Amino acid sequence: MPGTYPAAPATLSDPLLTISRFLSSPTQIVRRVRDYKDLRFVSDQVLTQSFRSSGGAVLYEASEPFVSDRTVTAVASGSEYPGAEMPNGTAGLAAVLKWGQRTDLTDEEVTRNSRPGSAADRKLRKLINSVIKQVDSITMSAVNTAITANAAATVAWATIATATPFYDISKAKAQVRKLNLGYEPDVVIMDDDRYAALMNNQVVAGLMRRENEQNPVYTGEYQVIAGLRIIVTPNLPVTSTVIVADSSQLGGMADEESASPGYAKTDMGVEVKAIRKEEADKWTLQGRRITVPVIQEPGAGYRITGA
């Protein structure tokens, strides 16, 4: 019988073989992980700068002054301009840590599932989400500790009828800007309960455009308030605290490049590796991120307490 060209692609009828090929390919793992659009680090949205570590640590300067060490004065005609120094910030050193976890995926879990790929998919999602939760918790704790400027909310936001979250946020934004150090707040960070209270606040609702498809009554979410992008996270160390910050100045994440073989690095910074354990008929899935949060400009943030 004459053949056809091009030949038909090979087919796989054994589910275990299909999953084995997937887990054996770092490239395929990365492509799959990119589909997890709902899994994203808050850390990289709050600390947007990028640092590179050397020898397991990162050296940085905190609170670098934005002005010279002397006041600008009038210069007489024909006179030399007075000299000034540009002071450096306080040197800081942060040690990079490897945050990771592993989980097992047995051959039985794969073959006994009506959708063989869902078992591996579920384990990968949970593994990555566990790494994100830990790193975000460390980052939010560091941010909350570093920021010293704060003020109490006018009224707790849960008191929906009388609370003034828009005023609280606008006032915090103003406190950062009035430092006149070049900070321009662009994000406001809160937990899910504060977010729910904000969406249902009567004052805020009254300020919004009515009968608009972008109204949170239809979309179920706020994206921006007072010119600040809203970031919601369950990993704030104090749930009643809301943070307003300049994400471009506050700091960054220092990730360490590793030469460990077999890891697939995703665009969200998590590295994933699948290891076949033939003696136990299973796969071991490992996820990690080698990083440390660096708070470079604590003055770029402001806390609203008791929200």
Three-state DSSP class for 276? Answer: strand
Report the pLDDT value the prediction gives residue 238, as an integer from 0 to 100: 87
Report the pLDDT value the prediction gives residue 220, as an integer from 0 to 100: 65
In a domain, 69, yes or no: no
Report the pLDDT value the prediction gives residue 184, as an integer from 0 to 100: 93
Three-state DSSP class for 36? Answer: coil
Task: Compare 179 and 31 and report the one with higher pLDDT.
Answer: 179
Please give the structure tokens belonging to residue 94. Answer: 């942060």
In a domain, 272, yes or no: yes
Q: How sure is the predictor about 40, in pLDDT bands with cuts at 50, 70 and 90?
A: confident
Nearest Cα to Cα of residue 188 among 239, 141, 232, 240: 232
Query: How confident is the model over 208-225, as a mean pLDDT?
Result: 71
The CATH number given to whatever domain includes residue 96 is 3.90.1690.10
In a domain, 146, yes or no: yes
Backbone angles phi, psi at 205, to 5 degrees: -60, -35
Please give the structure tokens belonging to residue 240. Answer: 């009643």
Q: What is the CA radius of gyration of the chain?
A: 25
Report the pLDDT value the prediction gives residue 63, as an integer from 0 to 100: 67
Q: Output the CA torsion sign for 189, 190, 192, 198.
A: negative
Cα separation, 286 vs 264, whole angstroms? 10
Cα separation, 182 vs 186, whole angstroms? 13
Report the pLDDT value the prediction gives residue 141, as an integer from 0 to 100: 92
Q: How sure is the predictor about 116, in pLDDT bands with cuts at 50, 70 and 90?
A: low
In a domain, 167, yes or no: yes
Query: How confident is the model over 192-221, as a mean pLDDT?
Result: 77
Cα separation, 23 vs 172, whole angstroms? 48
Q: List, in order, residues 6 or more apart from 160 with CB less than 8 Å away.
A: 197, 200, 201, 202
Are 58 and 292 in contact by the 8 Å Cβ rule? The answer is yes
Report the pLDDT value the prediction gives residue 161, as an integer from 0 to 100: 82
10: number of Cβ within 10 Å:
5
* 176 has pLDDT over 90: yes
Please give the structure tokens belonging to residue 218. Answer: 């239809």
Report the pLDDT value the prediction gives residue 177, as an integer from 0 to 100: 93
Lowest average pLDDT, out of 60-64, 91-95, 223-227, 284-288, goes to 60-64
In a domain, 1, yes or no: no
In a domain, 83, yes or no: no
Query: How confident is the model over 218-231, as a mean pLDDT?
Result: 82
Query: How confident is the model over 134-152, as a mean pLDDT?
Result: 92
Note down the domain range covering 141. 15-63+88-305
Query: How confident is the model over 275-299, as a mean pLDDT?
Result: 89
Q: How sure is the predictor about 243, in pLDDT bands with cuts at 50, 70 and 90?
A: very high
Lowest average pLDDT, out of 65-74, 194-203, 248-257, goes to 65-74
Count of domains in the chain?
1
In a domain, 9, yes or no: no
DSSP label of 269: S
In a domain, 162, yes or no: yes
